[in-house]
Amino acid sequence: MAGDPARFFCAEAARARGDGLAGTAPHGRVWVLIEHPGAWPPNGFEGLGLEPACATRVFEAARARKARILLVRRPGRDRRAATRHWAVLHHDARGAHRQTWGTWTRDADLDGIPDALRHPGTTGHPPVVLVCAHGTHDVCCAVRGRPVAAALATRHPDLVWECTHVGGDRFAANLAVLPDGVYYGNLDAPSALTTLAEHLAGHVHAPHLRGYTDLPPPAQVAIAALLARHGPAARHAYDIVATERADDGWRVRVAGAPPHPALSEVRVRTRRTGPHRLTCRGATPSTFLAHEAVTVRTLRGPAPTPGPH
């Protein structure tokens, strides 16, 4: 993106500072998607202008389940849709990926969302791929996100949606694969195509990984460090065994599936940064907690592969 020296772009500033990606995925296990092909208000769902009673029912049901509500639309200029879709996506405690889909032509049709939030949905659906392109929230999300969404949609038109704010504007372009609960950032079109192709093949790579949304930041950093050390792995190849406070951060023990180490310990340092402008729209500098893996130890290697009998 060509930078105007008179204008601030949060993604350019974050790259210049070297802000770390790992450990920045926001927590979440449940998401509500509402297709809205028109312009998105800066505050997303809250500014959509739905019938007030309907909006309240959806919002309260989502809040009760700690679900994030995102507006979505297909990439491209022609976004007209006779029937719009909604979805509730669950990443349940056992790691199962469940989805419920419906359609809406009038506000009252969204009353299916509270019921779907009370039930887990069904498995076997393809993943949902979201690219933040919420320009009225942050210009970097639009300028960097829309080309990524367009490129991905040429390969995976049935999977890819543009969406409203997913968090971490300064890491645009941001990509979320749901309900897997995997966030990637600092993407452009070529790296997004490669990253998503590998993800769909069952290989999570470290370079653009922000984290897994069912884990706290130190655990996200620990898994990213193991992926960087031992190579890509499936989404559930690693399990957090224990997380303990250390002097300046955390010690995280992680169990791995073959061919990765059976047990590892990652020491994660946590520090509060100085104040920085973190979004294009936010003029007031803010601090944030930065997490960094400083040591990775193998406590128990992978089990040997059984030989032929």
pLDDT given at position 184? 98
Q: For 86-95, what is each residue's pLDDT tens digit?
A: 999 999 877 7
Question: Encoding tokens for residue 54?
Answer: 């309907």
Least confident of 36-40, 167-171, 193-197, 230-234: 36-40
> Over 70: is that where the pLDDT of 3 sits?
no
Q: For 11-52, what is each residue's pLDDT tens digit?
A: 999 999 999 999 999 999 999 999 998 889 888 898 888 999
Give me the torsion for CA of 28, 186, 35, 113, rounded to 10°: 0
For CA atoms 37, 39, 42, 45, the dihedral sign is negative
CA atoms of 132 and 176, how far apart (whole Å): 8
> Over 70: is that where the pLDDT of 154 sits?
yes
pLDDT given at position 238? 96
> Over 60: is that where the pLDDT of 80 sits?
yes
For CA atoms 169, 175, 179, 182, the dihedral sign is negative
Over its C-alpha atoms, the chain yields an Rg (Å, rounded) of 20
DSSP codes of every residue in the chain:
-PPPTTS--HHHHHHHHT---TT-PPP-SEEEEEE--SPPPTTGGGGS---HHHHHHHHHHHHHTTPEEEEEE-SSS----SSEEEEEEEE-TT--EEEEEEEESSGGGGGHHHHHHTS--BS-PPPEEEEE--TTT-HHHHHHHHHHHHHHHHH-TTTEEEES--S-GGGPSPEEEETTTEEE-S--HHHHHHHHHHHHTT-B-STTEEEETTS-HHHHHHHHHHHHHH--B-TTSEEEEEEEEETTEEEEEEEE-TTS-SEEEEEEEEEEPPPB--SSS--S-B--EEEEEEEEEEEE-PPPPPPP-
How would residue 121 be classed by pLDDT, with cut points 50, 70 and 90? very high
How would residue 283 be classed by pLDDT, with cut points 50, 70 and 90? confident
CA atoms of 33 and 174, how far apart (whole Å): 17
CA atoms of 144 and 108, how far apart (whole Å): 35
